[in-house]
Amino acid sequence: MNHTMIYADHASTTALSPKALEAMLPYFTQGYGNPSSLYAFGQQAKSDLEKARAAVARCLNAKPEEIYFTSGGTEADNWALRGVAELMALKGKKTGHIITTAIEHHAVLHTAQYLEKQGYEVTYLPVDGEGRVDPAAVEAAIRPDTILISVMAANNEIGTVEPIAEIGAIAKAHKVLFHTDAVQAVGHIPVDVEAWQVDLLSLSGHKFGGPKGVGVLYMRKPLRLPPLIHGGGQEKGRRSGTENVPGAVGLAAALTEAVENLSAESVRLAALRDKLIEGLTKLPYTKATGSLTYRLPGTASFVFEGVEGEALLLHLDAKGICASSGSACSSASLDPSHVLLSIGLPHAIAHGSLRISLGPDNTEADVDYMLNEVPAVVNYLREMSPVWDKENQKPTWVL
């Protein structure tokens, strides 16, 4: 890897923290027993897995029995939505209504669309120009047949933090199950399943210094969703498959570390983030996207008019900067991100998006470097752009 590289894409994934790596290593070579084996060597792995579960529970203010390890955030989201639908079907409600938002991650959105094909009705709530969901709109959308509300805790593209505790109180008052995709929130902002009054919560290890391929679905007792994955009956019969012991141990170590460091690290990151936002929005025809108040500490996101996001990323890559753009054609479609369209940006502008997400390894020097390089690349691309009026230094759509 290029050692001059600045990694500023922590919302996409993070490096494994050294503590998490250290905690995991013995389980590959010495403590590799199967937790289901009856001999002591297997039972040691089982006991260490349960310690990891308890540590995760402590970080979320949950009980260990409410923590189920999964293969990641995507599986946890799928399980939450499909599991609630199946649970209700088992109770005789073969169809029903689900409330979610227009800005969810595809792990939720595509699962909701899948359930629509099965006969469920889904309300996709709009968000305001900052990407915030209105709790009153959630309440107004509740119907007698509503089986689930699913609202993400923080958005992965624009960093907006949602009013989860307010929505939790509404869900509870109406006795509707409430799921939150907290993949971007856990380890970055305080997360408390009691304060939030959530019934289900998804998280993913690699977003806060844990390993890839392991996540958690929190399930409030006595709620017991039917399994998504059938087999040998691990995880109390709810999520089969030989347990990923090193993964669970690494996730727990990384989460414990992230939560311990959260108050100091979030202040440090927010200062760097705000320096980036202040610096880059000095460019003309440039806007920060998402809420400036309710915001993940490490995420800065922008749109630059007259610039194409993918070209921006490639040129930043050439300068050693790893960042991300919501305009990436991830699904082979040329449409810009559903999130940027949902906050009301026109297609042409949504195409020029950039997300810079900072993490523990980023320094003020990194930010200063980006404050030099990003404007240089933006200006360079604008000079070449067919939609940039060079003479008047404005996008062609501005009269």
Catalytic residues: 329
166 near 135, Cβ under 8 Å? yes
Q: Which residue is closest to ligand PLP by CB?
A: 73
251 near 210, Cβ under 8 Å? yes
CB of 11 to ligand PLP, least distance (A): 7
The residues, any chain, with a CB within 8 Å of residue 84's CB and separated by 6 or more, are 147, 148, 177, 179, 200, 225
- Stretch of 73-81, 126-134, 164-172, 343-351 contacting ligand PLP, by CB under 6 A: 73-81
Closest by Cα among 371, 374, 357 to 159: 357
Site for ligand PLP, residues 203 to 232, rule: CB under 6 A:
204, 206, 215
d(CA 286, CA 353): 10
Site for ligand PLP, residues 134 to 163, rule: CB under 6 A:
152, 156
304 near 354, Cβ under 8 Å? yes
d(CA 324, CA 308): 12
163 φψ region: left (φ > 0), alpha (ψ -120 to 50), beta (else): beta
Closest by Cα among 389, 59, 360 to 207: 360
258 sits in which H/E element: helix 245-280
CB of 154 to ligand PLP, least distance (A): 7
Residue 359 binds ligand PLP, judged by CB under 6 A:
no
Closest by Cα among 233, 107, 88 to 98: 88
- Stretch of 72-80, 118-126, 218-226, 301-309 contacting ligand PLP, by CB under 6 A: 72-80
Q: Which is nearer to ligand PLP, 72 or 168 (by Cβ)?
A: 72
**Angle of the 245-280 helix axis to the 40-60 helix axis, nearest 10:** 30
- Stretch of 16-24, 57-65, 124-132, 181-189 contacting ligand PLP, by CB under 6 A: 181-189
CA atoms within 13 A of residue 136's CA, in its CB half-sphere: 1
CB of 91 to ligand PLP, least distance (A): 28
CB of 212 to ligand PLP, least distance (A): 7
CB of 70 to ligand PLP, least distance (A): 9
- Residue 311 Cα distances to 183, 302, 315, 323, angstroms: 28, 15, 6, 12
Q: Which of 33, 35, 72, 250 binds ligand PLP (CB under 6 A)?
A: 72
Residue 290 binds ligand PLP, judged by CB under 6 A:
no
Q: Which is nearer to ligand PLP, 296 or 311 (by Cβ)?
A: 296
Pairing between strand 353-357 and 299-304? antiparallel
23 sits in which H/E element: helix 18-24
Residue 74 binds ligand PLP, judged by CB under 6 A:
yes
Q: Which of 184, 234, 325, 342 binds ligand PLP (CB under 6 A)?
A: 184
Q: Which of 7, 17, 53, 73 binds ligand PLP (CB under 6 A)?
A: 73
Residue type, 399: L
Residue 107 binds ligand PLP, judged by CB under 6 A:
yes
Q: Which of 53, 82, 97, 105 binds ligand PLP (CB under 6 A)?
A: 105
Q: Which is nearer to ligand PLP, 201 or 381 (by Cβ)?
A: 201
- Stretch of 67-75, 110-118, 245-253, 343-351 contacting ligand PLP, by CB under 6 A: 67-75
CB of 339 to ligand PLP, least distance (A): 10
Residue entry with tokens 């392991």: 214
Q: Which is nearer to ligand PLP, 33 or 210 (by Cβ)?
A: 210
d(CA 224, CA 226): 6
Give me the residues that bind ligand PLP (CB under 6 A), please.
72-74, 77, 105, 107, 152, 156, 181, 183-184, 204, 206, 215
